[in-house]
A and B are shown apart, each in its own frame.
Chain A
């Protein structure tokens, strides 16, 4: 690099540039927070089943195999839209039937959920399926 471009100029560019872009990031974050109420279905959080369902989702590390809105592990199906793909009764029956025990097949543990807990999980997945995800995933298969 040319001698006219000094180390201190490079340093100032670093401090100035990263501060500037971080401030833009904060401004966009603020704007995002303003827009989210139109997109994130937050009214459903008034239903305690949805929050309880999210806690069950976390306490059983579902993200360790599944994806939710495309994030997580890629070992088991996307669940952000599973409510629309399968419906509540299938979801509950499926969870209760685990593990399938089919030799060589990927296995989901038996989490011993009560009927109330199954309803909570379904409420959470229904909430997730109604978030405005800009039309993702491309089709119902997730």
Chain B
């Protein structure tokens, strides 16, 4: 750690990991509700568990991005953070707001939450992933603006690298597109159309800029390859990302009432969307193969390579599987979507945040890398979580194919619930894989408490 103020990242990473645990626990509750429908009913209905599962995911990834930025920008800019105090204050505001929102979801009916937070004045709630009460949404905007002010000031006064430029464009884009969460027309088609300006333009747009810049930063550090080479790759990857991803939004516009030409735009451009992820995998392996030093933190190298591979599989391959319009006509809104969503989020965003944590945490704790024993444990966590996620994805894919067949293709189509009964076996298997994921997460967390002796 070259700059004192980089330490603020530690708060964000610890907060992120705490929310990660909550996310997985609620995921297991939901997984069980798929097969034991009345589990925890009426205390925690499925929709509540799902809001906690997806909202904690979003918040912990945002915290992970913020922590990454607070660590990365001072080092790249070669100066201290503009205001470490503001960064710490915003962390606590963000964590408390997230905690209160989750408590709100769990303690009162959602309609009560909507009423007491004044959703009638500015209706934004009750839409997938954007369920947060208006006051929480405003809080997110305030935290994001303070965060961007802090980082932009640091950036403007210091050295400007490609990595920090790309990261800041990504983070500003994230904040700007979040403003569309306040757009909720009564017209259902327009509501859905602009809803994707947050959801798609985040995860298949500006978030990928953040992903690329974090990965590039870690690869420079652990491989010692020339910055020039890595920055050129970064620009090529994010160019491919945006020229495919922006019009790739069209793959969400096939069946929501938008004109039919979106079936062509959406299919063609989303067929190209795996290319930047493939380039990212090539990039990570290429840089590690050309490395000029053996970095003592082998676990961080593993996470970086894993991010490339899993992002390509989850976002690239599993995305492509069902984005061509004639295929999507049958798979839209089935477990195939859930399968893709799980591996894409894990492979791209969870893993890149864990890559950054893996690289920076030992440094923030005063050592180049963790002891060999701790790294071995961390790598066990990596493999358990990653393999469990592969199986979660495969089981959900199997459930999805069966669902499409029974409910939509068969000559005697079954109803939704009858179909669900038929695919229950795969939901049980998914729940088992989910338990393995939890074990992997616990092993990963335990590695933080393993042995203080530094390696290398």
A contacts, CB < 8 Å to B: 1, 5-7, 10-11, 13-14, 17-18, 20-22, 24-25, 28-29, 31-33, 35-36, 39-40, 42, 45, 50-51, 54-55, 57-65, 67-78, 99, 101-107, 109, 111, 127-128, 131-134, 136-139, 141-142
Is B125 touching A134 in the complex (CB atoms < 8 A)?
no
Taking CB atoms, residues of chain B closer than 8 Å to A51 are: 186
Taking CB atoms, residues of chain A closer than 8 Å to B329 are: 136, 138
**Given A1-B236, A51-B186, 15 more contacts at CB 8 Å?**
A1-B233, A7-B162, A7-B231, A22-B242, A28-B262, A61-B131, A65-B47, A69-B256, A69-B333, A107-B42, A128-B188, A131-B189, A133-B256, A138-B409, A139-B413
B166-202 near A? 1/0 per residue, CB < 8 Å = 0000000000000000001011111011000000000
B243-286 contacts to A, CB under 8 A, are 243, 246-247, 249-250, 253-263, 265
| 10 tightest Cβ-Cβ pairs between the two chains A and B | A64-B47, A58-B126, A70-B333, A106-B37, A10-B235, A136-B255, A18-B242, A77-B416, A40-B189, A70-B332
B99-125 near A? 1/0 per residue, CB < 8 Å = 000000000011100110001100101
Contact of B41 among A64, A74, A107, A139 (CB under 8 A): A107
CA A61 to CA B420, docked complex, whole Å? 21
B17-32 near A? 1/0 per residue, CB < 8 Å = 0000000000000100
A-B contacts, 21 listed (Cβ < 8 Å)? A10-B239, A20-B243, A36-B187, A40-B187, A45-B186, A55-B120, A58-B119, A58-B126, A60-B126, A65-B47, A71-B128, A71-B333, A74-B335, A74-B338, A75-B46, A75-B47, A104-B37, A105-B38, A106-B38, A127-B188, A138-B409
Taking CB atoms, residues of chain A closer than 8 Å to B50 are: 64-65, 73, 75
B contacts, CB < 8 Å to A: 30, 33-34, 36-38, 41-42, 45-48, 50-51, 109-111, 114-115, 119-120, 123, 125-128, 131, 162, 184, 186-190, 192-193, 228-229, 231-233, 235-236, 238-239, 242-243, 246-247, 249-250, 253-263, 265, 329-330, 332-335, 337-338, 407-409, 413-417, 420
Is A107 touching B38 in the complex (CB atoms < 8 A)?
yes
Is A22 touching B246 in the complex (CB atoms < 8 A)?
yes
Choose among B123, B128, B333 the residue with the greatest number of A CB atoms under 10 Å from its CB: B333
Query: Known: A18-B242, A63-B127, A136-B332. Contact between A39 and B235, CB under 8 A?
Result: no
Query: Known: A14-B238, A28-B265. Contact between A59 and B126, CB under 8 A?
Result: yes
CA A22 to CA B263, docked complex, whole Å? 18
Is A17 touching B239 in the complex (CB atoms < 8 A)?
yes
Is B333 touching A106 in the complex (CB atoms < 8 A)?
no
CA A136 to CA B190, docked complex, whole Å? 18
Is A131 touching B110 in the complex (CB atoms < 8 A)?
no
Chain B interface helix/strand/loop/mixed: helix
Is A64 touching B192 in the complex (CB atoms < 8 A)?
no
Is B332 touching A61 in the complex (CB atoms < 8 A)?
no
Is B131 touching A7 in the complex (CB atoms < 8 A)?
no
Query: Known: A58-B114, A127-B188. Contact between A70 and B243, CB under 8 A?
Result: no
Taking CB atoms, residues of chain B closer than 8 Å to A67 are: 333
Is A73 touching B128 in the complex (CB atoms < 8 A)?
yes
Taking CB atoms, residues of chain A closer than 8 Å to B36 are: 104
CA A71 to CA B338, docked complex, whole Å? 11
Is B255 touching A58 in the complex (CB atoms < 8 A)?
no
Taking CB atoms, residues of chain A closer than 8 Å to B261 are: 28
Contact of B45 among A10, A59, A109, A136 (CB under 8 A): A109
Query: Known: A5-B232, A69-B255. Contact between A99 and B41, CB under 8 A?
Result: yes
CA A55 to CA B84, docked complex, whole Å? 42
Query: Known: A63-B128, A104-B37. Contact between A18 and B243, CB under 8 A?
Result: yes
Is B45 touching A107 in the complex (CB atoms < 8 A)?
yes
Contact of A73 among B46, B232, B235 (CB under 8 A): B46
Taking CB atoms, residues of chain A closer than 8 Å to B249 are: 25
Taking CB atoms, residues of chain A closer than 8 Å to B246 are: 18, 21-22, 24-25
Taking CB atoms, residues of chain B closer than 8 Å to A132 are: 257
Taking CB atoms, residues of chain B closer than 8 Å to A14 are: 235, 238-239, 242
Query: Known: A60-B126, A77-B417. Contact between A71 and B256, CB under 8 A?
Result: yes
Q: Which residue of A lies closest to B334 (CB)?
A: A74
CA A78 to CA B189, docked complex, whole Å? 16
Query: Known: A25-B247, A61-B110, A99-B41. Contact between A106 and B33, CB under 8 A?
Result: yes
Q: Which residue of A lies closest to B331 (CB)?
A: A70
Q: Which residue of A lies closest to B399 (CB)?
A: A74
CA A92 to CA B157, docked complex, whole Å? 62
Contact of B111 among A5, A111, A138 (CB under 8 A): A111
Taking CB atoms, residues of chain A closer than 8 Å to B239 are: 10, 13-14, 17-18
CB distance from A131 to the nearest CB of B (A): 4
CB distance from B335 to the nearest CB of A (A): 6
Query: Known: A59-B111, A60-B110, A61-B51. Contact between A11 and B235, CB under 8 A?
Result: yes
Is A141 touching B242 in the complex (CB atoms < 8 A)?
no
